[in-house]
Amino acid sequence: MKLGFLTVALGQLPCEEILDWAAKTGFEALELAAWPRSNDRDFSSSTIDANMSPQEAKDLRTKFDDRGVEISSLAYYDNMLAADSGVRAANQDHLKKVIDTASAMGVELVGTFVGRDITKSVDENLDEFAKVFPQLISYAESKNVKLMIENCPMDGWQEPGVPGNLFYSPSIWRELFRITPDSFGLNYDPSHMYWMGIDHIAGVLEFADRIFHAHAKDAEFLGEGMYDNGIFGVISQRLSREPWWQYRLPGLGEIDWQEFIKALYDVGYDGVLSIEHEDPVWGGSVEKSKKGLILGYRNLAKLLV
């Protein structure tokens, strides 16, 4: 298993600067952020330009090969089922550009979200998925690329208290995997399952054949926020705004990483474990984020073989 990180953590630093720092620090892989240059989504960045030419993509891949760093996937997590037809079309068009770039670079995986049409019920969104995603999956297959979805619920992304990404629970995974080919899978993140109360080890065992990539992100519960608001969180701007949980870097939260990594090894996973840095304690600047990534690296590296 190789250890890497999602480049969103280092903001808009040039790709080669991130690559050089990662190689020097000991990381073996990078998950390259590929959002549009003009984009206002939080926790996103544009480490690479999905509009680059095939030759530029090949040249960039050579730079990674020269430094001995793998490109584990290209990352563009946005709403593929957006209610606004114009937004939906733009998001899907950009996803196809990311797939094209991955293909030109010889990268097998592209990560995204299913998203959700917030104006429709869950059942209606399942029907929308069945209309939209077979075409996207087929397009990726034609480019020798596999699509994968991160299991983040994106709580409150479109409406307060409502999951904005449909693909967040085992019951939904079973249904959507039932109607999709084996080339469609998971970028498995245990942190989301942990704070939602879902067994993240059982998920590894059940969905082993669909885990294409794994995120390393931790989480912790915050007692005061839980006491004030419970699991529904803050429901009024006039009342306590204390959160009841937050993301942490691996080893700084409550997940047992030895147990999680053992489960991955037990099911034969030998891909990349990619740190997704969303820890508020170690964010706010490039230098602080780098220190956070080093902390995560040190906590995980000793558990890998």
DSSP-derived secondary structure for 88-154: HHHHHHHHHHHHHHHHHHT--EEEE-----TTS-HHHHHHHHHHHHHHHHHHHHHTT-EEEEE----
Query: Which pTM does this prediction carry?
Result: 0.96
Task: Give the pLDDT confidence of 119-139 residue by residue, as tens digits.
Answer: 999 999 999 999 999 999 999
Q: How many domains does the chain have?
A: 1
* CATH assignment of the domain containing 296: 3.20.20.150
Nearest CA-CA partner of 212 in 260, 253, 286, 268? 268
Task: Give the pLDDT confidence of 146-177 residue by residue, as tens digits.
Answer: 999 999 999 989 888 899 999 999 999 999 99
Task: Give the pLDDT confidence of 107-121 residue by residue, as tens digits.
Answer: 999 999 999 999 999
pLDDT range class, residue 198, cuts 50, 70, 90? very high
Residue 240 pLDDT > 70: no
Residue 13, domain extent: 2-218+249-301
Instruction: Say if 146 falls within a structural domain.
Output: yes
Instruction: Say if 237 falls within a structural domain.
Output: no
Instruction: Say if 56 falls within a structural domain.
Output: yes
Task: Give the pLDDT confidence of 51-99 residue by residue, as tens digits.
Answer: 999 999 999 999 999 999 999 999 999 999 999 999 999 999 999 999 9
142, 104 Cβ separation under 8 angstroms: no
Instruction: Say if 271 falls within a structural domain.
Output: yes
Amino acid identity at 186: L
